Every structure is written in C-alpha cells, then in structure tokens.
Amino acid sequence: MSLFHTIIPAAGFGSRMGVATPKQYLALAHQTVIEHTLRPFLDSARISFVHVVLSAGDVFFESLNIAQASKLSVHYCGGETRAKTVLNAFQAINCKVLADDWVLVHDAARPCLSAELLDHLLDVLQDDDVGGLLAIPLAETLKRADAHHRVLKTEPREHLWLAQTPQMFRYGLLTEALQHFSGVPTDEAQAVEALGYSPKLVRGDLRNLKVTYPQDLELAELILSAHKGHTK
C-alpha cells in the first residue's frame, strides 16, 4: 500500500513581505505561519511522514513547539530554488520512501489548508495514474500588461486555473520530472507536464491562500478563526 509523505519547502525568505524575518516565521493567530501550515498534515492519520526542508543557516524552527512532533522530520538542506529544495529533500528521505509512494509538496506560507480540503485531494488522487494539484478556476478578467503597466490586451479566461498546493505526485515520477526539467519550474506540476503527463486539477478553495504580502496575514487570521469556530 502506498504511503503519503508531505514535503514543506521552507528555505525561502519571502522578500515581498518587506520584513527581516522569513515570512514562514511571522506571527499568525498566536503561532507562526509555518506552524499553521504543518498542522493539517500532522493531524491527518493518512499522512505517514511530514518533512520540513530548511536552509542550512535556519535559526528559527528549532525553537518552535511543533518542532518536536512525532512524525515530523527536519532537513537543513534547502537549495537556491524551490525545485532544488524539493530534490534535496528527496535525496534525504530516499531510504524511507518507495517509488510508488505519494508525495504532497505544500507551500510553507500557505497556512489555511483545511483538513477537509486535504482529505478531498487525497480521495480524488490516490488512485490516479498521474497525480495532480489543488487549483481554482480563474473567475476574474485577465489583463496582459506592457512594461509600463498599461493594458496590452484582455486574455480569455476560459480553461484557466490558479494553481495552489498541495501538489501530489508519485515519488518516482516527481523525482524524474524535477531532475530532467530544463530550467527552473515554477511548481511541481510544470515539471511533470514537461514529461508529457497531464496532472489532474482538483478544485481547491480561495481560503487556501498563500501569504505573500503583509495584508495577507490579516485575511489568513480571519480564515483560521473561521476554521476554529467551524470545528468546535
């Protein structure tokens, strides 16, 4: 039976936040962003292993209470890109994972994933031939801009989706995809697409937001408060 592994690449800095602390360690609802990010995976009985991948010089994570969670492993082998960080993690865990095991790669700064959405992703993809990702159909009008932020044209939005995470693929397939990708993929799905596969789009949730700008923290706190109220 294939196991489910989670990889959280957390070696980045997040310069668009405009603060000195890496955004995954910013305060959010009495914890840090990354603690909220990890929680649904640590709480899920279906996830066997959770791996956090940090930069070699990370001095923040070890002080968090969540660092002692029983199924959590910490790897100080982050790379210069997200793809390299994931590949370094794969090398670090290769003795614990089989080629047919599933790997879920999730953004460290995406703290509002609900347990229900995680279970939905697992249910839809666990028997899929390729794997896939959470995504949202594009609902807004899409504009293409020039270098001066003037509209060049309006793009048709039909069949366009906004990619989210987790992105879920077999360990063997994703390893091959990342190793052979020419350039730097923006996400795991793009690397798999380059091998000729078509990942499945699993409808996500706008509440599964990624913290990118300071105002995102306020919205994330509202979402987490709503989650907490819903589970009481």
DSSP designation for 187: S
Longest Cα–Cα distance in the chain = 54
Query: 119-139, pLDDT tens digit by residue?
Result: 999 999 999 999 999 999 999
Give residue limits of the domains in the chain. Answer: 4-231
pLDDT band at 224 (very low <50, low <70, confident <90, very high): very high
Structure tokens that stand for 173 in this block? 């397939």
pLDDT at 20 over 90: no
Query: 33-85, pLDDT tens digit by residue?
Result: 999 999 999 999 999 999 999 999 999 999 999 998 999 999 999 999 999 99
pLDDT band at 17 (very low <50, low <70, confident <90, very high): low
Query: 155-212, pLDDT tens digit by residue?
Result: 999 999 999 999 999 999 999 999 999 999 999 999 999 999 999 999 999 999 999 9
What's the CATH code, domain 4-231?
3.90.550.10
What string of DSSP letters covers 34-99? HHHHHHHHHH-TT--EEEEE--TT--SGGGSGGGG-TTEEEE----SSHHHHHHHHHHHHTTT--T
Distances (CA, A) of 154 to 119, 135, 143, 149, 158: 36, 22, 5, 13, 12
pLDDT band at 226 (very low <50, low <70, confident <90, very high): confident
Please give the average per-residue pLDDT across 132-149, as a whole number. Answer: 96
Q: Provide the pLDDT for residue 3.
A: 97
pLDDT band at 13 (very low <50, low <70, confident <90, very high): low
Q: Provide the pLDDT for residue 111.
A: 98
Q: Provide the pLDDT for residue 230.
A: 59
Q: Provide the pLDDT for residue 12.
A: 78
Q: Would you give the distance in Å from CA 91 to the centre of its chain?
A: 19
Q: Provide the pLDDT for residue 14.
A: 54
This prediction has a pTM of: 0.93
| Cβ–Cβ < 8 Å for 55, 11 | yes
pLDDT at 90 over 80: yes
- Rounded CA-CA distance 67/73 in Å is 8
pLDDT band at 227 (very low <50, low <70, confident <90, very high): confident
